[in-house]
Every structure is written in structure tokens, then in C-alpha cells.
Amino acid sequence: MTTMTPDLSSPEFDPRDAVLDAALSLLEARAAHMATIDEWVGLARAVAQCQGMQTVGYLTDRDLDQVVEDEMDWDAERDGPLPEVEPD
């Protein structure tokens, strides 16, 4: 992925766009396992809120399985549906 440095002096420059672009790049890097699931869910929530989406849209199936396994705080309305867990 190639990124360009935004022209900070441009009247069209919006710092929120720069932050969102950086956050989206980090979300794409999740496959490299460079952040804990807690950090990752926090970032996904922030990006989802900025874009009017649900957190679940930015997490992989493996991430969601870990959310369920770790019994993380999750709001289905805000964050989206979690996978169904089969009883043991």
C-alpha cells in the first residue's frame, strides 16, 4: 500500500481524514498480528463509529472468535452480531 503525505496547507485538508486513513491502514495490517485483540477492537470501534458502521465489519472471523473466547465487553447493537457459540 502506498500512501501520500497530505498537503497540510490545502484548504481541503481535513485532519480527521488523515486519522481515518491511518486507522484503516492499521486495520488492514491486522493479519500480521501486530496488536492485542483489546487494542484491535478499540481501534475497530473508533473507525466504525467514524464511518457509521458496526465494529464487526472491521474484524476477521478469527478476531470475533477471540472476542467470544475472551468474553470481551460487546454491545450487539453497536458492535454487531457475534458468531453463535456451540455448547460443549
- In the chain, where the domains are located: 15-74
d(CA 62, CA 76): 17
Q: Does the structure show a pLDDT above 70 at 84?
A: yes
Burial of 32 (0-12, 13-18, 19+ CB in 10 A): exposed
Task: Classify each residue of 47-81 as buried b or exposed e, where b means 16 or more C-beta atoms within 10 Å of its C-beta.
Answer: bbeeeeebbbebbeeebbebbeeeeeebeeeebbe
9-61: pLDDT as tens digits:
677 767 778 778 778 877 777 667 777 888 888 888 888 888 899 999 999 99
d(CA 71, CA 22): 28
